[in-house]
Each structure stands twice: as C-alpha cells, then as structure tokens.
Amino acid sequence: MPEPEDDKKKSQAGTAFRAAEPPPEKLRLKCLPVESYSSLSRGLIFSKTDGKAGDESGENQPQHPAVNRFNFAAGPQTGNLFHSLFEKIDYSLLCGHNPDSFMADSGIDRKFQAAAKLQYSALKYQAYASLIKDIFFETLKVPLGSDEKKFTLADIPSCRRRHEFQFLLPLAESALCLDIKDRSRKLLKTPEGYLYGIIDLVFMHNDKYYIADWKSNCLGDDSGSYHEQNIIAAMQEHDYFLQYYLYTLGLYVFLSASLPGFDYDRDFGGVYYFFIRGMSKEYPGRGVFFDRPAKNMIEELCSALLRKKPGN
C-alpha cells in the first residue's frame, strides 16, 4: 500500500485500479461452469441479488397515500435506478450545496433525469425526483469512519473510486463450513469452475481500500427502522454476509496480484453496506453496516475455494 510520503508507491497504488489482463485460465471458461454469489448462496452454490435481481421485494410495503423515502417504489427497478445514479452522477456536484439548493438546481436535475432514463420514464422520475435526490444527497453526506477520522463519500474523488468492479476467480471443487461472527453459518459447496462477481464500489480513503454496496431494501416506515438489529436481520435473510466475504476475497486476490507489497491488515479498510433509504446526516449511524473481515478468514476462503492462490 502506498505510504503518504512516497510518490513512487502512490503511483503503484494507482495501477491497482487499472484493468488487468485476463488470466490464461480464463480461456477455460467454455468448458467450466461460472458461479456467482446468488448461485452459491442458493446451493449454497454468486450474481448480485439486491435491487438488480429482485431481493428488494415490495410485498411488505406500507400502502399509505403519503409517499416518502421509506415506502416509495420498492423493487429491482428502483435498485437499478440508484446503482445507476451512484455510478454516473459526479459526486463533486454536491460541493457548495445544502439539501435545498441541491434540490433546486435545474442543471443537477437534468443530470439526474439523464442518468435515470433507463429505469424511470420522465414522468415517473418527476413524480419521485425530490425523494430520489434527497436520498442521493444524504447518502453521500453521511459521516463515515471513526470519530477522529470522519469522512463522507462526497469527499472521495473519482480517481479513487471504481464503480461496478468485476472479478473472476478460479474455483476448486470444495466444501467449507463458513461461520461469520455467529451471524451466518453456511456449508459452502463449490464445483470446479469460476466465481464471477460485481462489486458496486471500491474506493480508497487514507491509503486504504474499501468495498461498498448499495441496498434500497425497505426495512420499515421510518429512519428508526434502519438500526443495527434490523440491518443484521436483512443481511442474514439475503445472505449478504456471505456476499461481502466473497467480495472481499475477490478484491484481496486482485490487489495481491496487482499492487506491489499489498498487505491486507495495513491496506484494506473494510466493507460498507449502505441501506440508503435510512441514511441521513441527522442520524448518521442508521442505514450503515460496516465490517472488516479478519485476514485469517479471507486466507481460509482463499485456500479452500481457489484453484490458483495469489502469488502462484
């Protein structure tokens, strides 16, 4: 990981965000199965299932006439909408704005409508525009990190973000009992093949790499519903614990291969899951899940699941 005073190492760290050449083993794709997060979690044998694949069901949605951020438009279309916005909208647009001025800026509104057009018609976007922009603004402005090192996603420049980060790992045929902090115990069985995944966001802050995942799940009628206990219940229900361990494995393998001197304990900051409907500066802890898997757990996954280990 680059040291703050070492420009050469900083340059090396930047290369970790550049596309790597496909490994020779990728040529075997035509004769070996490619697994994803959701296929592993079903089998348990992983593609993402959050709003992109329908895990954000709307059957428990409150049917109230007053539409708000907690009950509007549940389902995969809204999940896709926010994934698109967080990927395409320039975070620096928030600079110099408070929530009211951000909402009122017609130039910003045109950018949102353009980014939303594949998911929402112009009419539907206009119906929910204020809610959509409010969720976006609040999510990027929520303080994150420890008390002495607070930061926001709006602080992260585009050169230190990689959206829709893809990985492909060579799987060995294996069986592993995975116990994640007594919250998720899974017997993970994998065939020989490949594990393919897409991480919503990988970003750097203070010379550490972080994973982030956007979740638009409806957890309740108000911000109080987005407390730790409800978030953990949602994480368990949708196998998100397994998901982020596999995402961490994917990033660990990538950085081990592409960043000279990569050290997990020093260079990996952890994993954020953002339940965006519940996030606000007023209640900064709500809607935010954070964990940093122990190095020995990721090394155990690497040893048990992969045909080819980092550095080999």
| CA distance linking residue 246 with residue 13, whole number of Å | 22
- Tell me: domain 7-305, CATH 3.90.320.10, correct? yes
Contact between residue 168 and residue 32 where contact means Cβ atoms under 8 Å apart: no
| CA distance linking residue 258 with residue 62, whole number of Å | 47
Sign of the CA dihedral running 35, 36, 38, 41: positive
Sequence spans of domains, the chain: 7-305
Token representation of residue 98: 């408070």
Residue 73, pLDDT score: 83
Token representation of residue 261: 């001197």
Contact between residue 37 and residue 49 where contact means Cβ atoms under 8 Å apart: yes
| CA distance linking residue 76 with residue 58, whole number of Å | 9
CA 156 to chain CA centroid, nearest Å:
15
* 53: amino acid identity, one letter: A
In a 3-state reduction of DSSP, which class is residue 148? Answer: helix
pLDDT in tens, the chain (312 residues): 444 444 544 445 455 554 443 444 433 333 455 555 555 555 544 333 343 433 444 444 444 458 899 998 888 999 999 999 999 999 999 999 999 999 999 999 999 999 999 899 999 999 999 999 999 999 999 999 976 778 999 999 999 999 999 999 999 888 777 777 666 676 778 888 889 999 999 999 999 999 999 999 999 999 999 999 999 999 999 989 999 999 999 999 999 999 999 999 999 999 999 999 999 999 989 999 999 999 999 999 999 899 877 765
Please work out, in degrees rounded to the nearest 5, the angle formed at the alpha carbon of residue 268 by the alpha carbons of 163 and 3.
100
Q: Which of 93, 106, 170, 175 is nearest to 137 (CA)?
A: 93
Helix or strand (DSSP H, E) at 51? none
Q: Which of 167, 117, 113, 158 is nearest to 136 (CA)?
A: 113
| CA distance linking residue 274 with residue 221, whole number of Å | 17
In a 3-state reduction of DSSP, which class is residue 212? Answer: strand
Residue 1, pLDDT score: 45
Contact between residue 74 and residue 51 where contact means Cβ atoms under 8 Å apart: no
* 11: amino acid identity, one letter: S
Q: In sequence order, which residues have a C-beta less than 8 Å from that of residue 118 and are 6 or more positions away?
A: 80, 84
In a 3-state reduction of DSSP, which class is residue 270? Answer: strand
The per-residue pLDDT for range 211-245, each reduced to its tens digit, is: 999 999 999 999 999 999 999 999 999 989 999 99
Q: In sequence order, which residues have a C-beta less than 8 Å from that of residue 104 and are 6 or more positions away?
A: none
DSSP class of residue 154 equals G
> What's the Cα-to-Cα distance from 116 to each of 49, 104, 124, 146, 153, rounded to whole Å?
20, 18, 10, 33, 20
| CA distance linking residue 127 with residue 131, whole number of Å | 9
Task: Determine how many CB atoms are found less than 10 A away from the CB of residue 110.
Answer: 10
Cis amide prior to 44 (ω within 30 degrees): yes
> What's the Cα-to-Cα distance from 274 to each of 189, 224, 271, 298, rounded to whole Å?
28, 15, 10, 22
